[in-house]
Chain A
Amino acid sequence: MNIQLIYANAGFFTKAALLTLAMFAASVALATLIAVIFGGLATIKNSAVRTAFRIVIEFLRDVPLIVNVFFVFFGAPIFGLQLGPIEATVVSLALWGGANGAEIVRGGINAVSAHQIESARALGLSRLCVFAFIVVPQAVRPIIPAYAGLCTVLLQSTSLGALVGAPELLKSAQIIIERAAYFQGGMPGMTVYTFILVLYFAAGSTLTRLTRSLERRLNRSTQPS
């Protein structure tokens, strides 16, 4: 273990960690968008639309995420879509997260009682209004734990970018290890991998703690006083 190696590359690690966070934020934002749209459409009465979306969701969920990443990076150029490693990782994480999120959203929407929707309709609200102001607020609370779990997986999955060459935390760690092994020797692998494991661990547990407090705050407002 030589901690010196971490200090010497502090700037490099900071840049990589920031890129990881940016990729995480972008994929969560896009995945949420996809999840709400797909999840909403999967609850529609029209069975053809519902089946079509169910098939897309199932398909994305059943294929390993890394195969999705490889497909977007190596396969999509055949269809004329050429993405850089960072973009390809974010797009595939967003698609995969969106498909998984859609399942969660669908569960949340189905859990909203039919009375709520029917009452709102009876008051003359439009379908879109009902969805935005009646269904969504009530569907959010029960899905938070599952959604937080999905976010944790997305945070960890940014590391898959390393396999297509996105210079995020894992890739940067590999670069530093190779450099150190070549120029200095010693055991850079143990040091650097332990270091980034600690970083990921800290980020993951912070995320868990944030969701717990969010959950507590949202539940407080529904406590009968």
Chain B
Amino acid sequence: MNTTSHFDWSYLATALPLLLVGLRMTVVVALSCIFFSLILGYIGSAILYFEIPFAYRCVRGYIALIRNTPLLVQIFFFYFGLPEIGIRVDATLSGIIVLSLWGGAYQTENLRGALLSLPRALIEGARSLGIHPLRIYISVMLPVATRTVVPALMNTSVSITKNSALLTAIGVPEFTYVAMDNIASTYRSLENFFALFVGYLTVVLAMSAVANLVEHSLGRGFRK
């Protein structure tokens, strides 16, 4: 019998509802991680920029740790290691936490670069108007810095989305998990891998399109 080597559209149609549930999970996880990683990025880059004494070293260490170790090991450490000292979080939530922390380190670096490249005149001008430094950071520096760094932020966001596939390893029922589970139960690898490729390509290309829109709308009024 040679059933597994032929592409079976009708099987794909029956598997589709379940795959879409998985894809929705991937999108939900990715969006929440992107959101939290951006918050971490804004806080972290502010700490690095203002060189707040103790926090500065902490953020530096956090970035070095996240960037120099594999995400998969971080996930396992959090999900299988931490319960031994009493921190027990369920799979989806720990996935979101680890992925947000991971993305946060990269977003911090992205935003720090943008903050450092701001023209001095912008900050000095705001200071000379007597605005509080925190206020300057929030209302002057952040909007201008964000605008210049949208491509890098979106790059990291796409990486976060793709890396959400790693959460399969701890049993988060996202897209890859559903597809691999289908393969394990029906041996229909061709159809499921096809669905995976199409699904991830769609999500990533959609994100690139959104990135272009965001870049365009943030850049409005600044083009010569």
User: What CA separation (Å) do A112 and B190 show in the bound complex?
Assistant: 42
Number of residues of chain A lying within 8 A (CB) of chain B: 36
Shortest distance between the CB of A167 and any CB in chain B (Å) = 15
What CA separation (Å) do A205 and B67 show in the bound complex?
9
- Quick one: given A64-B163, A177-B80, A189-B80, are A70 and B67 in contact (CB under 8 Å)? no
Q: Flag if A193 contacts B81 (CB, 8 Å).
A: yes
| A201-B69 CB under 8 A given contacts A63-B196, A66-B165, A193-B76 | yes
Residues on B with beta carbons closer than 8 Å to the beta carbon of A29: none
The smallest C-beta distance from A137 to any residue of chain B, in angstroms, reads: 29
Q: Is A138 an interface residue when CB atoms closer than 8 A count as contact?
A: no
What is the minimal beta-carbon distance from B38 to any residue of chain A, in angstroms? 21
Within A179-202, which residues are at the interface with B (CB < 8 Å)?
187-190, 193-194, 196-197, 200-201
Complex Cα gap A201–B77 (Å): 14
Q: Would you call A67 and B70 a contact (CB within 8 A)?
A: no
Q: Which residue of A lies closest to B202 (CB)?
A: A62
Tell me which residues from 60 to 81 in chain B have a Cβ below 8 Å from any Cβ of chain A: 64-65, 67-74, 76-77, 80-81
Binds B, one of A33-41, A71-79, A140-148: A71-79
CB-CB under 8 A for A63 and B200, given A71-B193, A74-B189, A78-B4 = yes
How many B residues, CB 8 Å from partner?
39
Query: What are the residues of chain A within 8 A of B54 when measuring CB–CB?
Result: none
Q: Is residue A94 contacting chain B, with contact meaning CB distance below 8 A?
A: no
Residues of A within 8 A of B85 (CB): 187, 190
Within the complex, which residue of B5, B176, B190, B205 is in contact with A64, where a contact is CB–CB below 8 Å? B176
Residues in A whose Cβ lies below 8 Å from that of B82: 190
**Given A63-B197, A63-B201, A194-B68 contact (CB < 8 Å):** no
Report the stretch among A43-51, A121-129, A156-164 that lies at the interface.
A156-164
Q: Which of A64, A78, A156, A189 contacts B70 (CB 8 A)?
A: A156
Per-position 1/0 for A169-183, Cβ under 8 A of B: 010001001000000
Shortest distance between the CB of A186 and any CB in chain B (Å):
8
Q: Which residues of B contact A160 (CB under 8 A)?
A: 72, 166
A200, B169: Cβ atoms closer than 8 Å = no
* Least CB distance, B89 to chain A, in whole angstroms: 14
**Which residues of chain B come closer than 8 Å to A25, judged between CB atoms?**
none
Q: In whole Å, how far is A32's beta carbon from the nearest beta carbon of chain B?
A: 21
A residues neighboring B (CB under 8 Å): 59, 62-67, 70-71, 74-75, 78, 152, 156-160, 162-163, 170, 174, 177, 187-190, 193-194, 196-197, 200-201, 204-205, 208
Beyond contacts A66-B165, A67-B176: 20 other A-B pairs, Cβ-Cβ < 8 A, are: A62-B162, A62-B201, A62-B204, A64-B162, A64-B176, A64-B200, A66-B166, A71-B196, A78-B190, A156-B69, A156-B70, A177-B80, A187-B84, A190-B81, A190-B84, A193-B73, A193-B80, A193-B81, A197-B69, A201-B68
Which B residues are closer than 8 A to A by beta carbons? 4-5, 64-65, 67-74, 76-77, 80-85, 162-166, 168-169, 176, 180, 183, 189-190, 193, 196-197, 200-201, 204-205
